[in-house]
A and B are shown apart, each in its own frame.
Chain A
Amino acid sequence: DAGVIQSPRHEVTEMGQEVTLRCKPISGHDYLFWYRQTMMRGLELLIYFNNNVPIDDSGMPEDRFSAKMPNASFSTLKIQPSEPRDSAVYFCASSSEQGWQPQHFGDGTRLSIL
């Protein structure tokens, strides 16, 4: 079975540019999560969706960040305009409905903002 698929794997762009990260969850999973990982702050939950609806976006750092899930097999995380402090590894994860079911992670997008 295919796991969670993220693209691109690496992104290097200049400050001020728009960045779009993509995620395809595992088929049949009802929950999708976006995380950010940095050395200083570890893993931070940014937002999560249930059945394509955003449930909790309290972790989204600023209005520059937005996330969408137009259908069950695709989600985007957009940063506009990007800043150097947004440099991090961004992970997408998905899980199924049952409470104990673990989250399955993609390989992440390493984002560098120059």
Chain B
Amino acid sequence: GEDVEQSLFLSVREGDSSVINCTYTDSSSTYLYWYKQEPGAGLQLLTYIFSNMDMKQDQRLTVLLNKKDKHLSLRIADTQTGDSAIYFCAEKEDSGYALNFGKGTSLLVTP
């Protein structure tokens, strides 16, 4: 299948902004999602963006989409220790029903 790539690890200090990046190869991707996974838990949907959008903001979260470069980013403002988790990028075609996930970025927030 098509690839979704993420960096594996990111460390930030509490109060700073975190930026988690994702690239995908499928030009047919219509819907893009960010999920959060805390230890021992399932994946929790954080936010999503449609391919006809450039940006979406939801409280501390900002998603940027560069469709030309097939690049998606998730910015977390004022990162807190409770934000430490694995963040997954996922994409889906309009005609598809299965999500294509990246391998996840492990975010560590230090005091």
Select which of A31, A99, A105, A110 is within 8 A of B43 by beta carbon. A105
Choose the segment among B62-70, B74-82, B94-102 that binds chain A (4+ C-beta atoms closer than 8 Å): B94-102
Give the chain B neighbours of A75 by CB distance below 8 A: none
Select which of A43, A48, A93, A100 is within 8 A of B31 by beta carbon. A100
Flag B17-46 by CB within 8 Å of A: 1 or 0 each: 000000000000011010100001111110
Task: Check A99/B45 contact, CB under 8 A, given A55-B97, A56-B98.
Answer: no
Give the chain A neighbours of B44 by CB distance below 8 A: 105
Q: Are A42 and B42 in contact (CB under 8 A)?
A: no
Closest to B31 in A: A100
| Cα A106 to Cα B101 with chains together (Å) | 16
Q: Are B42 and A102 in contact (CB under 8 A)?
A: no
Q: How many residues of B contact A (CB 8 A)?
A: 23
Q: Are B97 and A42 in contact (CB under 8 A)?
A: no
Q: Are B45 and A107 in contact (CB under 8 A)?
A: no
Q: Are B104 and A50 in contact (CB under 8 A)?
A: no
Q: Are A107 and B41 in contact (CB under 8 A)?
A: yes
Return B111 CB to nearest CB of chain A, in Å: 27
Tell me if B88 counts as interface (CB < 8 A to partner A): yes
| Cα A56 to Cα B41 with chains together (Å) | 26
Task: Check A50/B101 contact, CB under 8 A, given A102-B48, A105-B42.
Answer: no
Q: Are B98 and A99 in contact (CB under 8 A)?
A: no
Q: Are B99 and A99 in contact (CB under 8 A)?
A: no
Q: Are A100 and B97 in contact (CB under 8 A)?
A: no
Select which of B45, B48, B95 is within 8 A of A104 by beta carbon. B45
Closest to B42 in A: A105
Tell me if B103 counts as interface (CB < 8 A to partner A): yes
Q: Which of B1-27 contact A (CB under 8 A)?
A: none
Q: Are B98 and A48 in contact (CB under 8 A)?
A: yes
Give the chain B neighbours of A45 by CB distance below 8 A: 98-99
Give the chain A neighbours of B104 by CB distance below 8 A: 42-43
